[in-house]
């Protein structure tokens, strides 16, 4: 009998977490609207009511929610409430797009293999904060951005894709951040697309793309 291949038509249910400007969120929304990203963003959640990304969500008719971490006595109680809010939307993928809170172990375990993050450095270089400033201070010749699955190791989960940019002598934190951000807007929608197409999964401590465990991240543009 002839083998029929399954065509994935159902859109992947996604919740996006933000803390700020939401330019990565915008890149994801734009990719959705150009029909090459088969996802449905069911909610955008921010830990800050002033995050401009909330406005971007509303403009795209996506439910926008604020869950302010300062309304909770500690990290654990905040993360429990956040998990409850997220799970109302039944996401198949949680996308951290500039969400600047450290997430406790139980929260990360709950979304293991279905939570992605974007980080503005070539991990494992410059995990943590102030990556552009630190790259400049270290006289790095190149810098970039990484998309990875989230695990309990801070910025240390399995790498999926990285984009490299040159560092110029005259760069400031702002010019370097802008060059990196432009690449972030390319690699995040791409990684999310692979996940939505079921081409990308987390297996053990590896990202697996098209059935092959990645021993190093895909280098954008290839």
Q: Is the preceding omega at residue 124 within 30 degrees of 0, hence cis?
A: yes
DSSP secondary-structure letter at 151? -
Q: Does 98 bind ligand GAR (CB under 6 A)?
A: yes
User: What's the min distance (Å) between Cβ of 44 and ligand GAR?
Assistant: 11
**In contact, 219 and 165? CB cutoff 8 Å:** no
- C-beta of 63 vs 128, nearer to ligand GAR: 128
User: What's the min distance (Å) between Cβ of 116 and ligand GAR?
Assistant: 11
Q: Does 184 bind ligand GAR (CB under 6 A)?
A: yes
Q: Does 42 bind ligand GAR (CB under 6 A)?
A: no
Residues 6 or more apart in contact with residue 51 via CB below 8 angstroms: 18, 19, 20, 21, 22, 66
Segment lying near ligand GAR (by CB under 6 A), choices 2-10, 83-91, 117-125, 135-143: 117-125
Helix 173-196 vs helix 23-33: crossing angle, to nearest 10: 40
Using CB atoms, what's the residue nearest to ligand GAR? 98
User: What's the min distance (Å) between Cβ of 11 and ligand GAR?
Assistant: 22
User: What's the min distance (Å) between Cβ of 2 and ligand GAR?
Assistant: 46
* Residue from 16, 17, 22, 94 binding ligand GAR (CB under 6 A): 22
Strand partners, 16: 44, 95
**In contact, 163 and 145? CB cutoff 8 Å:** yes
Helix 23-33 vs helix 52-59: crossing angle, to nearest 10: 10
Q: Does 119 bind ligand GAR (CB under 6 A)?
A: yes
Give the residue numbers marked as catalytic: 119
Which is nearest to 123 in space by CA: 133, 135, 115, 112?
135
Segment lying near ligand GAR (by CB under 6 A), choices 60-68, 114-122, 201-209, 212-220: 114-122
Q: Does 23 bind ligand GAR (CB under 6 A)?
A: yes
Q: Does 120 bind ligand GAR (CB under 6 A)?
A: yes
Q: Does 44 bind ligand GAR (CB under 6 A)?
A: no
Describe the chain by its helix, strand, coil percentages, rounded to 5.
35, 25, 40
Chain contacts with ligand GAR (rule: CB under 6 A): 18, 20-24, 53, 97-98, 118-120, 181, 184
């Amino acid at each position: 009998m002839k083998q029929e291949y399954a065509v994935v038509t159902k859109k992947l249910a996604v919740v996006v977490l933000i803390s700020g400007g939401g330019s990565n969120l915008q890149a994801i929304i734009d990719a959705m609207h150009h029909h090459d990203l088969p996802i449905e963003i069911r909610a955008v959640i921010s830990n800050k009511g002033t995050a401009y990304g909330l406005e971007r969500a509303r403009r795209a008719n996506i439910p926008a929610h604020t869950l302010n971490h300062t309304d909770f006595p500690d990290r654990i109680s905040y993360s429990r409430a956040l998990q409850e809010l997220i799970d109302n939307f039944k996401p198949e993928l949680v996308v951290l797009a500039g969400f600047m809170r450290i997430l406790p172990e139980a929260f990360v375990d709950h979304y293991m293999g279905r939570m992605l993050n974007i980080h503005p450095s070539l991990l494992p270089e410059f995990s943590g904060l102030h990556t552009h400033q630190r790259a400049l201070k270290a006289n790095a010749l190149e810098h970039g951005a990484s998309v990875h699955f989230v695990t309990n190791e801070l910025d240390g989960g399995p790498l999926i894709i990285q984009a490299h940019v040159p560092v110029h002598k005259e760069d400031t934190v702002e010019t370097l951040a802008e060059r990196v951000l432009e690449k972030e807007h390319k690699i995040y929608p791409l990684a999310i697309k692979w996940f939505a197409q079921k081409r990308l999964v987390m297996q053990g401590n590896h990202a697996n793309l098209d059935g092959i465990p990645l021993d190093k991240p895909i280098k954008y543009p290839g």
